[in-house]
Structure 1
């Protein structure tokens, strides 16, 4: 049971990240002001604006989705070692740097997203390395 708490914490944070990205995309899709700014800068219509938002949404949820699916499907068979922790934490750290480089300081989603990615990074680093005798997380 102790081993499952690490997976549960990571899954909760990834669900929160995906939910946050969903709400952000929904609010941006319903905003006429953001569409007008997009239309003035690019000269494109509503279809391209929705495509742009959907592409950004997929980019936002890709890493948490990969991490959660990986941990759910491999938790019984795979031993957690330093290499797996390094790869997962590098994915999260690169996404965190990408999110910070967007620099959307007027959005609450920006700050909550950064906080959730820092939590996810922390929880991945805190997963204990399991020995040869222990096959599950």
Structure 2
């Protein structure tokens, strides 16, 4: 009985001390549309947290790849209007990384409600996350 109780206590201790896996999240997405002479410029930013990082040469390193799709008011999806890799490096643990998107749309794009779909991949852990944000393009 003592062995079972001891084993139970050790298991409980180990379980309670284990680190909870962080959830990869993309949040606080902001999108602004600016009129140009021949279309629109879209600027979007979003914060990423919960990504894996490794310590190399006394620095913390994170690597996150992303791509962004755009859904038009008519429901058409424009795949990968932007994509890239966010490489973060710092002497302290990295809490937040940022995705920045800048895209120009020509004059064939109409006014209306659009949707930006963000797809991110934590290249170190293999975990993925998605987020979407609607925004309006309106006449001046």
So what's the TM-score if we normalise by structure 1?
Answer: 0.27
So what's the TM-score if we normalise by structure 2?
Answer: 0.26
With a CA cutoff of 8 Å and minimum separation of 6, indicate the structure with the bigger relative contact order: 1
Structure richer in helix, relative to its length: 1
Structure richer in strand, relative to its length: 2
